[in-house]
Amino acid sequence: MKIIVGTRGSKLAVTQTNWVINKLKEKHPEVEFETKIIKTKGDLIQNVSLDKIGDKGLFVKEIEQQLIDGQIDMAVHSMKDMPSTLPEGLKFASIPKREDARDVLVLKKGYSSINDLPNGAKVATGSKRRKYQLLKYRPDLNIVPIRGNVDTRIKKIVDENLDGIVLAASGLLRAGLEDKISYYIPKDIMIPAPAQGALAIEIRENSKDIEEIINSLQDMETEIQVAAERGFLDGINGSCHIPIGAYCDVDGENVSLTGLYGDEEGNNLIIKTISGKASEAREIGLQLAKLISKEYEDYEG
Ligand SMILES: NCc1[nH]cc(CCC(=O)O)c1CC(=O)O
C-alpha cells in the first residue's frame, strides 16, 4: 500500500508532515509514503498581515481539493490553522500527541526573559492574542506587526532590529530549533491559541484503511484537549481579528478549561476557567464560550 501525503512547502509544514510519516512508518513498516508539496493562497500572499487576510481556510483549500480529487490521500496541518468545519467528504483522523502548547519569545542576543526587556522594547507579532496578552503583562512594550514563515521571522530580529518575536514553541521544537527559544511564556501570562501544538491529519471520509493506520498514533489526552479548546473556538463568535485563546488541562477524568476573548482593540480582555468531565470536553468548550460571550455583552451594553 502507498499513501500520498499532501503538505504546504514551508519548513514547518514539511517538518510536521515528516514527523507524522516517521511515526506511521514505525507502526506500519509495510506502508509506503510519498510526500507531495502543494502551494496554497496563503503562501502566495506573504506581505499582507494575517490579521487582515482573516480567512483561516487560506492555507488549506488547495490541499483539501487535492484530497477530494484523490490526488493525495492524507494531509497534515497545524490544528490551530484549521477552520471549524471541513468540506463535505473529508474528516480528521485520530490526533497524535501534542507538542508543548506554549508560546515562546525568541529574543535579541543578551536577553533571556520577558523581564529582561528594556522599557519600550520592540516585540513583533501579527497576532492580537499575543499582542494584548503581552501588553497586559508589560504595558510599556512596543508591539509591531510581522509576517512570513518561522525562519523569515527569526531573521527579522537582526534585519529589523527587533528586541524579540513571539512564536509557538511547537514549531521550533519540531524543527530542531530549540536553541532559538529564549523564554517560555507561562500560560498564566499567555494563554495559547486553541489547539496550538497539535497536528491535524485530514483524510477522505471513506478511507477506512488509512483511518485505521492513523489510529495507531492516537493520543487520548490530546483528543480531549483539542475537543475542549476547539469547542470553545466554535462557540465563540470569533475571527482572526480578535484575541482568542484556550487551554485545557486534563487530570484523569476531569478537565479544566481556560478561555480568553476580547475586542479588536484589546480593551476588554476576558479570561475565565471552568471545570467538568473529560468525556464532555467539547460541551465544556461550548459552555465556556457562552459564559464569556454573555459577560462580554454585559460589559458592552
Ligand atoms: N500561524 C502560523 C502557525 N501555525 C501553526 C504554527 C505552529 C504552532 C502549532 O503547531 O500550533 C504557526 C507558527 C507560530 O504560530 O509560531
Cα(175) to ligand 1 centroid in Å equals 12
Cα(190) to ligand 1 centroid in Å equals 15
Query: Given this model, what pLDDT does residue 43 score?
Result: 74
Domain boundary among 127, 160, 184: 184
Mean pLDDT, residues 144-149 taken together: 93
> For the chain, how many structural domains are there in total?
3
Same structural domain for residues 209 and 246?
A: no
Q: Which atom of ligand 1 is nearest to the CA of 195?
A: 11
- Residue closest via CA to ligand 1's atom 9 equals 197
List pLDDT tens digits, range 204-233.
999 999 999 999 999 999 999 999 999 999
175-191 in b/e burial notation, b at 16+ Cβ within 10 A?
Answer: bebeebbbbebeeeebb
Global pTM reads: 0.94
In a domain, 274, yes or no: yes
In a domain, 189, yes or no: no
Same structural domain for residues 79 and 202?
A: yes
- Residue closest via CA to ligand 1's atom 10 equals 197
List pLDDT tens digits, range 53-88.
455 667 788 999 999 999 999 999 999 999 888 999
Q: Which atom of ligand 1 is nearest to the CA of 16?
A: 10
Q: Which atom of ligand 1 is nearest to the CA of 168?
A: 16
Query: Given this model, what pLDDT does residue 158 score?
Result: 97
Local confidence band at 239 (pLDDT 50, 70, 90 cut-offs) = confident
Contact 167/157 with Cβ under 8 angstroms? no
Q: Do the strands 2-7 and 32-37 form a parallel or antiparallel pair, or are they unpaired?
A: parallel
In the chain, what's the furthest Cα-to-Cα distance?
61
The enclosing domain of 37 has a CATH number of 3.40.190.10
Q: What is the ipTM of this complex?
A: 0.94
Cα(259) to ligand 1 centroid in Å equals 19
List pLDDT tens digits, range 150-205.
999 999 999 999 999 999 999 999 999 999 999 999 999 999 999 999 999 999 99
Same structural domain for residues 108 and 152?
A: yes
Same structural domain for residues 50 and 88?
A: yes
Q: What is the 3-state secondary structure (H, E, C) of 98-113?
A: CCCCCEEEEECCCCCC
Same structural domain for residues 230 and 213?
A: no
| Cell numbers linked to 15 | 517538518
Q: Where are the alpha helices (DSSP H) in 175-280?
A: 208-215, 220-235
In a domain, 131, yes or no: yes
- Whole-angstrom distance, CA of residue 156 vs CA of residue 35: 30
In a domain, 276, yes or no: yes
Same structural domain for residues 22 and 158?
A: no
List pLDDT tens digits, range 148-158.
889 999 999 99
Same structural domain for residues 62 and 91?
A: yes
In a domain, 120, yes or no: yes
Which helix (H) or strand (E) segment holds residue 270: the answer is: strand 270-277
| Most ligand 1 atoms within 8 A of CB, residue of 15, 59, 170, 229 to mutate | 170
Same structural domain for residues 128 and 179?
A: yes
In a domain, 193, yes or no: no
The enclosing domain of 241 has a CATH number of 3.30.160.40
Contact 261/272 with Cβ under 8 angstroms? no
- Whole-angstrom distance, CA of residue 175 vs CA of residue 98: 14
Q: Is the pLDDT of residue 291 over 90?
A: yes
Same structural domain for residues 161 and 209?
A: no
**Using a 6 Å CB cutoff, which residues line ligand 1?**
12, 78, 80-81, 167-168, 170-171, 196-197
Same structural domain for residues 202 and 246?
A: no
In a domain, 117, yes or no: yes
- Residue closest via CA to ligand 1's atom 15 equals 168
Mean pLDDT for the chain overall: 93
Q: Is the pLDDT of residue 301 over 80?
A: no
Cα(138) to ligand 1 centroid in Å equals 23
- Whole-angstrom distance, CA of residue 151 vs CA of residue 252: 38
| CA distances from residue 234 to 25, 166, 227 in whole angstroms, order as listed | 34, 25, 10
Mean pLDDT, residues 240-252 taken together: 94
| Cell numbers linked to 277 | 468531565
Domain boundary among 158, 184, 210: 184
Same structural domain for residues 109 and 255?
A: no
DSSP letter for 85, please: S
List pLDDT tens digits, range 82-129.
988 899 999 999 999 999 999 999 999 999 999 999 999 999 999 999
Query: Given this model, what pLDDT does residue 238 score?
Result: 75
Domain that holds residue 238: 226-300
Query: Given this model, what pLDDT does residue 52 score?
Result: 47
Same structural domain for residues 82 and 210?
A: yes
In a domain, 154, yes or no: yes
Catalytic residues: 81
Query: Given this model, what pLDDT does residue 47 score?
Result: 55
Cα(196) to ligand 1 centroid in Å equals 7
% of the chain surpassing 90 pLDDT: 85
Query: Given this model, what pLDDT does residue 50 score?
Result: 52
Q: Which atom of ligand 1 is nearest to the CA of 81?
A: 4
